[in-house]
Structure 1
Amino acid sequence: MRVGVVLLALLLTACSATGARQSPSTANSAQFKPKEISVSGPYRHKYLGLSFPETVGPFTRSNVLQFDAESADVGANYQTPDGKTFATVYLYPIVGPIASIPSDYSVTKTESDRKCAEFFDGAKDLALRQYQNSVVREEGPFSLPSRPDYAGHRLVFDADHRIAAPGYPSALRESDGPLTSELYLFCQAGTYWHLKYRFTYPQGVAAGVMVTELLNGVPAP
């Protein structure tokens, strides 16, 4: 099975599932089908100016996808050279199509924190349902010194590398064995932007350093 095909299928299928990313921009663009963006070099987000570099630490970018017509809702896949550790980074608005958001939009910290926790619960539920025998190892608040304006949540779980959710391509239901998966959701206080990460790697792999490298390096200024 080609790794690039698996990554693209995983990302497209996961984002078409109910509540996959809870992104209103995607939900309100019912006629828009996710598509791959042709890009060479860093991909720069149209609205925030942040970039998705081609490489960071041991990771190489596989592709970039957009999930709305305005290219506000985007994601990028990364993988390590051995093809065993995968990462996906999503950057998207949470309150509707970008064109409908007032230029002076603001939200209180209390409301921002509430929305962030709500979105994290939805992302957690989806992540755990994607695999059989999921067992949560760690869960709680998380922050990065490199992103002080983003409040974060983290989930780490072990599972069988067998996709249990219905509707997934049959080719994705079998793989190399037990895995560990990490989910991070960061919400920028006072704005409508969310930053979400998913990491997946074989159980027993010491992934801490490379996970931190990607968290700090994508997106880049």
Structure 2
Amino acid sequence: MKISDSRKKELLQFLHNNNLLCDNLELLNKALTHSSYTNEHNLSSSENYERLEFFGDAVLKLISSKYLYEKFEDYDEGELSKIRAALISDNTLAKFALKINLGEYMIFGPAEKKLGGEKRKSSLACAFEALLGALYLDNKEEITKNFLLKFISEETPYIESHLIQLNAKSTLQEYTQEKYKTLPEYKIINETGPAHKKTFEIQIEINGEIISTATGDSKKEAQQNAAYLALEKLGLLKEENEQNV
């Protein structure tokens, strides 16, 4: 697909804005071309981002896996997989794409553009992967790695914290079984709000001692929040964070 002079300027501006280098502008242009454009202009699918997305997905997994493997030496395969899955999800990749205004430089068919394609999470995530693929194939492996790691390193602490909170119940249970030979007891101490939008307050007791209290929009969420606070009170979160510094 031939690139106009005005399009070249747009691509060069994008590279400049993000401190990137890409000698092959045709490859970069493909990475930012949505399938709706090639469909509506009867062009080959090889002219849009789909093939580069496929390759970029592999690049993304390789770089993120190596980063997590080296950063979290004490994490097992399951824990590493959970963090990586969150890091490479459409929601996270779309967030990365929005940070660099990727949608503004994408090409869409008229119908898709009218529907706000440049803000669609799935399209942004695919284009971000395709961008990684284009940069890597342009023999810019180090640039690609540094570019991606900038986003991953910023996002990982939030994802790790979120996963710790989601896994708080099982972590607390393992701890109490090992230390006290008992299980934490979750008690609903209050329910407020209408039936369709209740807020639950949960209290955790271990051996009859109140350890923490928290609220949530569901019993499960309140239990998770209370378990997280219990881990914090018991000093377990601090120990885990210190291990990963």
TM-score by length of 2: 0.25
Instruction: Judging by fraction of residues, say which structure has more strand.
Output: 1
**Greater Rg, structure 1 or structure 2?**
2
**Which of the pair has the greater relative contact order for Cα pairs under 8 Å at 6+ separation?**
1
TM-score by length of 1: 0.27
Instruction: Judging by fraction of residues, say which structure has more helix.
Output: 2
